[in-house]
Chains A and B, each alone.
Chain A
Amino acid sequence: MSEQSEETVVTDAPLVEAPADAVAGEVVLRLTDVVKTFPGVRALDGVQLEVRAGEVHCLLGQNGAGKSTLIKVLAGVHRPDSGQVEWRGEPATFANPQAAMRAGIATIYQELDLVEDLSVAENAFLGHEPRRFGFVRRGYMARRTRQILGRLGHAEIPPNRMVRTLPAAGKQVVSMARALSHEARLIIMDEPSAVLAHDEVGNLFRIIRELTAQGIAVIYISHRLEEIREIGDRVTVLKDGRTTAANLPARDTPTRDLVSRMTGRTIEYVFPDRPADTGPGAELLTVEGLTRSGEFADVSLSVRAGEIVGIAGLVGSGRSELLETIYGARRAEAGSVRMAGRALRPGSVGAAVRAGMGMAPEERKSQALLLGEPIYRNVTLATFGRYARAGFTDAGRERAEADRIAESLELRPRDVRRPVRTLSGGNQQKVVVGRWLLGDTKLLLLDEPTRGVDVGARAELYQVIRALAARGVGVLLVSSEVPEVLGLADRVLVMREGRVVREAPAGELDENTVLDLVMAGSLMEGAPA
């Protein structure tokens, strides 16, 4: 059955880049009552979806609502248990990702799926390398890749560079290039903006508009409602694996409508109030003249007990590298890091952790999670030694602690014995941050803590961070979302090209000022601190 439908699509697969016969407004994809279960979980429980050529169709839903599962069904990664998928008027089941790609569906997955030790071009064309007489046409492949990267506004990435050496945002660009390297009629993007900085998102939207103008349909997933308002045409909302609303107009549907359809309740997307009394606590972290060439230079900063310090800056401005260096995961070339007045041994994470630091890193999959291990063991990865007696672990205690974290961060599913691998992206992120809410962390370094976390859980997370600060924990927060930095932090540092260009109490800055500082290379106010 799958074979037959596969064939029908293959024969008329377009060879030109923009499908000439794409009629804007025609329904290209229709899902009816799609169900997909995993052992113990009904990830999709009757989903309806209708996508038209040339539109940007947004999928909204809480963490674990089934968005990624749905697109994996479309991409041929999962087979639905029941329900119909109608692709360009014909029933279709895609046996594997290749079949979906040949049919004209390209996908950018939520979790990066690049081969780290291949080049940018090899990754972009992985599995469909241009060939002649059985040999890969490397020159042509590099040219095409350069072309696509240029279209993406990233002509500076050399096609022959190893993907391993790229920063997270660069990798995201490569996955985008991969999707564009197919002649696709439908491009699915699962939270593409989660790793992108503000200007990159603008770039992404420009490309999406180009694509839709050619009649290509786009399914766009994001937890940021502003983005959906800006780029989306229609919205379908999922909750607990079901469609709770379909084809709402993206621009005019009131936010509280969308949120209540997603969550079943109304959530005020606000930041917790700052405590009125911000009496200066003791200085906790002191960083002086920290330098790593090519990453950041001469950075000095301090964090007091109970204070939240935010770092704003573009991806690539050296923020993450700075955080990792403070934490000892990278070795500084110059400068010093002191905790409560005592200098830390450079390049030693152990020393930093013993001094009371904790860091939630930027890339959850490669830097933070043991995917095959149970949730609770991931939550207690940094603290299991503390619960142990004489070297023997206390699994019961660990589960209890992890349960507490799962409760406060609305982790779903709540069963902490499940492997982390089976969690949705946003829920995995909660595990990464939750790890450091245990134990007696004195200083929390958070690198994009809300990446991929939904509106509701985000509010919870802000509350938790605030509560920690109220207990005297210092927080150093890096985020690409300027409102988050401004809303959560007491004091803000703006970084550009590896230097701190401005430091001010959060109250004295507004979003536009920060964005100007972050981007414009010409602004001279706030010379390097």
Chain B
Amino acid sequence: MSDTSPTATPERAAQLPAQSPPVDPAETAAASEKTTHGGATAGRLSWWSGDSGEGAKRNLGLIGVLLVLIAIGALTRSDLYSNPDWVWDNVLSILKLASVVGVVTVGMTFVIIGGGIDLSVGAIVALAGVWCTTLATQSYGAGGMIFSALTVGLAVGLVNGLLISYGRLVPFIATLAMLVAARGLAAEISDKQTQVSDNQFINGIASNSLLGIPLLVYILAAVVAAGWVLLNRTTFGRRTVAVGGNPEAARLAGINVKRHSVLLYALSGLCCGIAAIMLTAQATSAQAAMANLYELDAIAAAIIGGTLLSGGRGTIIGSLLGVIIFSTITNLFAINGLSTEAQNMVKGGIIVAAVLVQQVQFRSLTQFLGRNRLTT
């Protein structure tokens, strides 16, 4: 691969009188010899622009935001930050805070990349949590509880997917309906009571640690790792990007778009089932109102993480960073003893900022297509 030839300039000028007579083609051929085949192309790309270059660059930005947030914490509470033990504990508590929403967000990321949206995640967590803590289920022990939570999550997700793919409901509507219905069912099952979990194994998931790190953090890490592999290394992930990026192209390439959408919502439901166990363990109980507004947290985290709301683009690492940024903010406000109201305002601001940044990138794309005006 060569760069363009620097020697062409003088000849070019000479070659261009206002009405240049047709030059002998042999001469032109000779002149063009100097630029090798495909000469306008530089051979190498920058190190970051490999397969997922744009995503990696965006994630570096998110890490920057995270560092700024930590720096703010260290400045405002330098007394706490001077104690290394406290800092380590604080990191763990941030991760623990991120774990449940993080698991939900992994599923949500898949759904959004696939061109959909799942508003029912919080409700599914609640339904799965309530279902696995009924006295009847608890009588089957930890295995029965885990099995029922996962099955309920998967089943509800499957229903979402079927309604959307084959019932042709808009994802927003279908999952909104599911949000209402699933919480209703959860309230019905629990009779609006808080159901206490007596299962020591389940409760231990939240209270126990391994090598000084809470089990919840391991679960989050495992789900994130599995999600990353699924998205980046498997045919399932490849189909997800195709289906969300250009459904028509995917369909004409022989991908079963409808079936794949069903699987995406089922996957999201499954993640909610896992999250339900984690949340139940944390509270040692479940109730119909649990996991309130998780859908908003998960969607916001995914968007901040660079997932395109219209589908076709997104990264698991970005979403994870999005969740961690949110819990770091919560933590920042907590250690400074500030109100949750102020905290929500800051979160809202961060969401807007993230979307604005994305739009700037998006604008350069639309400008490339020659249209950047819908508002005049």
Residues of A within 8 A of B (CB): 39-43, 45-46, 48, 50, 64, 66, 72, 75, 77-78, 96-98, 107, 109, 111, 113, 115, 126-129, 239-248, 253-254, 256-257, 260-261, 264-266, 327, 329, 349-350, 352-354, 359, 361, 366-374, 377, 381-382, 384-385, 388, 391-393, 395, 412-415, 417-418, 421, 435
Contacts and interface: CB of A to CB of B under 8 A. Distances in A.
B235 A385 contact: yes
A265 B29 CA distance: 6
B22 A257 contact: yes
A414 B41 contact: yes
B35 interface: yes
A121 B376 CA distance: 17
Contact of A243 (B12, B33, B51, B369): B12
B210 interface: no
A150 B31 CA distance: 48
B40 A72 contact: no
A109 B370 contact: yes
Interface stretch (B67-75, B241-249, B289-297): B241-249
A253 B250 CA distance: 45
Interface string B51-62: 100100000000
B233 A373 contact: no
Q: Which of A128, A327, A350 has the most CB of B within 10 A?
A: A350
B371 A367 contact: no
Nearest to B375: A127
A327 B253 CA distance: 11
Contact of A241 (B19, B40, B249): B40
B51 A97 contact: no
Given A240-B35, A367-B248, A77 B4 contact: no
Contacts of A77: 367-368, 370
Interface residues on B, range: 35 or more
A349 B249 CA distance: 11
Contacts of B20: 245-248
Nearest to B232: A393
Contacts of B35: 239-240, 242
What are the 4 tightest A-B residue pairs by CB atom distance, in nearest-first order?
A353-B254, A264-B32, A413-B41, A260-B25
Interface string B223-240: 000000000011111100
A372 B235 CA distance: 18
A96 B372 contact: yes
Interface of B: 4, 8-9, 12, 15-16, 18-20, 22-23, 25, 28-29, 31-33, 35, 38-46, 49-51, 54, 233-238, 241-242, 245-246, 248-256, 312-313, 365, 367-374, 376
B254 A349 contact: yes
Contacts of B256: 350
Nearest to B250: A381
Residue among A243, A264, A369, A414 with max Cβ neighbours from chain B (10 Å): A264
A75 B367 CA distance: 11
Given A248-B20, A367-B248, A260 B28 contact: yes
A377 B253 CA distance: 12
A115 B241 CA distance: 23
Contact of B242 (A66, A329, A381, A413): A381
Contacts of A372: 54, 245, 312-313
Contacts of A248: 20, 22
A109 B32 contact: no
A329 B50 CA distance: 34
A191 B9 CA distance: 29
B373 A127 contact: yes
Contacts of B23: 245, 261
A66 B4 CA distance: 14
6 contacts: A97-B367, A241-B4, A260-B25, A329-B252, A369-B249, A373-B241
Contact of B235 (A42, A265, A384): A384
Given A247-B20, A368-B252, A75 B370 contact: yes
B42 A41 contact: yes
Contacts of B236: 391
Given A247-B18, A367-B252, A381-B250, 10 more contacts: A43-B40, A245-B15, A245-B20, A260-B29, A329-B252, A354-B254, A381-B253, A384-B235, A413-B40, A418-B45
Given A40-B45, A260-B29, A414 B38 contact: yes
A451 B62 CA distance: 42
A246 B235 contact: no
B370 A359 contact: no
Given A77-B367, A240-B4, A264-B29, A412 B38 contact: yes
B370 A113 contact: yes
B41 A415 contact: yes
Contact of B4 (A42, A109, A415, A435): A42
Given A96-B372, A98-B373, A370-B242, A41 B41 contact: yes
Contacts of B376: 127-129
Contact of A42 (B29, B40, B253): B40
A177 B201 CA distance: 70
